[in-house]
Each structure stands twice: as C-alpha cells, then as structure tokens.
C-alpha cells in the first residue's frame, strides 16, 4: 500500500485500484472469516486514501489545463492572425493526411 503523500502516475493509481478491487472480491468470497470486520475497515481506509490521491491528481491536472487554456486564449487575443494561420496550417495537414489515407489503397 502506498501513502497518501506519494505522487502516483495514472497507471500506478489504476493498478492500485485494480489491486483493491481484487482484494475486495477475495474478501467477499471469504466473508465467513473472523477477521472480516477488520479487513473491511482496512479496505475501506485504503479506498478513502486512493480517493484522496485521485482528487489531488485531478485538481493538479485541472489546474494545469486551466492555466494552459488561459495562455492559449491570451495568445489568440494578442496574435489573432498568427493563431488563424496556425489553425489553417494544422487543418491543411490533417486534410492532406486524411486525403492521402483514402488514396492509400492501390488500384490495379
């Protein structure tokens, strides 16, 4: 089990949640055990800790996205013609790639 202060990647968080689910399924299968109350409390604490880590990760990612969106908005407002040229260039490249993909099948 990891501590709540560790910063985990999304893959690590997913692996930890999968391990918690497997452990919960095992615990449900072994409900006749005397230790089930203790195990349920332990598992509940681990779920709460995982939820806290997810909330922190979500808040961090959300903050970064908001900052980048504001930067993009400022750039577009300060340089509308450059932004338009960049968007047109990107659209042209996508159009060329999509068009090329459609013609990739050889004709005999």
The C-alpha atoms of residue 49 and residue 1 are separated, in whole angstroms, by: 10
pTM summary value: 0.47
C-alpha distances out from residue 103 to 17, 98, 106, Å: 45, 9, 8
Q: Which residues, other chains included, contact 39 with Cβ-Cβ below 8 Å and sequence gap of 6+?
A: 27, 33
What are the sequence ranges of the domains in the chain? 10-79
Which of 100, 33, 65, 78 shows the shortest CA–CA distance to 43? Answer: 33
Q: What pLDDT score was predicted for residue 35?
A: 64
Task: Give the tens place of pLDDT for each residue, 44-90.
Answer: 788 888 888 888 888 888 889 999 999 999 999 999 999 999 999 99
Which of 76, 98, 95, 97 shows the shortest CA–CA distance to 85? Answer: 76
The C-alpha atoms of residue 54 and residue 14 are separated, in whole angstroms, by: 10
């Amino acid at each position: 089990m990891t501590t709540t202060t560790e910063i985990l990647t999304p893959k690590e968080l997913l692996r930890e949640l999968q391990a918690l689910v497997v452990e919960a399924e095992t615990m449900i299968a072994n409900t006749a055990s005397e230790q089930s109350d203790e195990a349920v409390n332990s598992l509940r604490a681990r779920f709460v800790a995982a939820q806290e880590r997810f909330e922190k990760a979500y808040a961090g990612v959300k903050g970064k996205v908001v900052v980048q969106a504001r930067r993009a908005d400022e750039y577009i407002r300060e340089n509308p013609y450059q932004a338009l040229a960049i968007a047109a260039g990107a659209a042209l490249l996508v159009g060329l790639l999509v068009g090329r993909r459609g013609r990739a099948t050889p004709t005999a």
